[in-house]
């Protein structure tokens, strides 16, 4: 029987895939934002009749601040939503309440690739398969005469019995060196496909010998798993497996090839272009950073198809953001739209009054500027910006 986790924090992916969480953990916790992310009617019906008790818990601001600061150091902060940060903070909070702060790291560990031997100790002059001429290679050497070489070759004798013995030895070696018959151990079959996936993902199953973690988090988001593992917290996948791989990310500009560890940057600090891409980084045995770039993944062409319109000024201008220090308007509504009725007036009517003054003539009202500062999607001047529209049910 697989041991159970005592306290488990659950992410949205567990409810979407209908995971039997009562077989993995004893006490289940989550935040209210995770439940609000579930929109499917079938999944909402399952939440009503859960075969276990799901506890909704609030997160304190200190845990959120600690997790946010750590995710910025690992480079996963841009890939985390507000719900993901609260899931991380709840795991951190439960670990602090049940086990204390012992074992929780405040700085991420940088991966180091250690070589089996030092390549700098290898002499470049004695490399097998290569001939490097010495410094005095310009000196002339005597070449033997052609007639002498032909006389020596003519005096050689060939014995046919030696060739027969060599052929017999080759046949015997072929009998012993023949390839063994193939079996199904090296192939991925329906019987071992689960083990193959486990090896490729770098996960290890919870054994009965090793005690299960008291506090863990269940999530399929790699950014959440990476932050938790680097902090020293336990992570469990949907199949009850423990992930043991971590990564550190930085931003690399594919225009000027400069790197930065500030993951909240949108534009390159060196060239100013919006060409930053997240890449994994490790440190070699000499202390140098080694960047791992996936060249098979093409660079997106978003924002490079249509030309941008001419910039316009004004209090309610809406221009696309093309640089880091660009000034933008505040998009504030008029004073009439912000004014509220005075409840101390004798003519005040409780509730919605039909005599409420509404601003319909100002420029802000004509342009549809809302009090929250939002802009209608048809007013966006960037033709490359993606607009997600919901389908009508």
Is 217 labeled as ligand-binding?
A: no
Least Cα distance to 67 among 216, 227, 218 occurs for: 227
DSSP letter for 138, please.
T
**Mind giving me the DSSP string for 149-205?**
HHHHHHT----HHHHHHHHHHHHHHHHHSSPPPP-GGGS--TTTHHHHHHHHHTEEE
Cβ-contact 238, 220 below 8 angstroms: yes
332 is written with which tokens? 């504030």
Is 268 labeled as ligand-binding?
A: yes
Q: What is the dihedral of CA 175, 179, 183, 189, to 10 degrees?
A: -170
Element containing residue 248 per DSSP (H, E): strand 248-253
347 is written with which tokens? 């003519």
Q: Indicate the pairing of strand 248-253 with strand 276-284.
A: antiparallel
Cβ-contact 213, 229 below 8 angstroms: no
Cβ-contact 305, 278 below 8 angstroms: no
DSSP letter for 215, please.
E
* Residue 28 β-bridge partners: 8, 54
155 is written with which tokens? 């005096």
Q: Is the dihedral of CA 12, 17, 20, 25 positive or negative?
A: negative
The 3-state DSSP class for residue 276 equals strand
Is 323 labeled as ligand-binding?
A: no
Separation CA 366–CA 152 (nearest Å): 106
Biggest distance spanned by C-alpha atoms of the chain: 133
Separation CA 333–CA 374 (nearest Å): 10
Is 256 labeled as ligand-binding?
A: yes
The 3-state DSSP class for residue 370 equals coil
CA contacts within 13 A on the Cβ side of 195: 8
Binding residues for Zn(2+): 253, 256, 268, 271
Binding residues: 253, 256, 268, 271
């Amino acid at each position: 029987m697989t041991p159970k986790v005592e306290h488990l924090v659950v992410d949205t992916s567990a409810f979407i895939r209908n995971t039997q969480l009562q077989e993995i953990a004893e006490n289940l916790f989550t935040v209210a934002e995770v439940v609000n992310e579930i929109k499917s009617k079938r999944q909402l019906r399952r939440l009503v009749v859960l075969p276990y008790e799901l506890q909704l818990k609030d997160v304190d601001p200190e845990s959120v601040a600690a997790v946010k600061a750590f995710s910025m150091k690992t480079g996963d902060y841009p890939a985390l939503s507000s719900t993901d940060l609260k899931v991380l903070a709840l795991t951190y909070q439960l670990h602090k309440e049940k086990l204390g702060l012992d074992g929780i790291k405040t700085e991420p560990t940088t991966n180091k690739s250690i070589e089996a031997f030092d390549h700098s100790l290898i002499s470049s002059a004695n490399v097998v398969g290569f001939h490097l001429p010495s410094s005095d290679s310009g000196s002339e050497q005597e070449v033997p005469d052609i007639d002498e070489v032909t006389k020596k070759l003519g005096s050689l004798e060939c014995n046919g019995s030696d060739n027969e013995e060599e052929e017999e030895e080759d046949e015997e070696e072929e009998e012993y060196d023949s390839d063994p018959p193939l079996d199904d151990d090296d192939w991925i079959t329906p019987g071992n496909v689960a083990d193959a996936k486990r090896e490729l993902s770098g996960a290890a199953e919870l054994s009965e010998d090793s005690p299960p973690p008291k506090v863990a988090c269940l999530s399929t988001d790699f950014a959440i798993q990476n932050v938790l593992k680097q902090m020293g917290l336990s992570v469990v996948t949907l199949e009850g497996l423990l992930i043991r791989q971590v990564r550190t990310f930085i931003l690399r500009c594919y225009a000027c090839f400069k790197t930065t560890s500030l993951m909240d940057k949108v534009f390159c600090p060196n060239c100013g272009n919006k060409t930053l891409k997240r890449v994994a980084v490790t440190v070699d045995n000499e202390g140098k950073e080694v960047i791992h770039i996936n060249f098979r993944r093409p660079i997106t062409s978003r924002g490079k198809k249509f030309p941008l319109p001419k910039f316009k000024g004004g209090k309610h201008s809406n221009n696309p953001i093309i640089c880091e220090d660009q000034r933008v308007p505040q998009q504030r509504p008029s004073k009439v739209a912000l004014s509220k009725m005075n409840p101390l007036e004798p003519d005040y009517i409780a509730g919605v009054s039909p005599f409420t003054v509404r601003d319909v003539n100002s420029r802000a009202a004509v342009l549809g500027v809302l009090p929250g500062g939002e802009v209608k999607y048809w007013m966006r001047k960037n033709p490359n910006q993606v607009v997600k529209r919901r389908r009508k049910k």
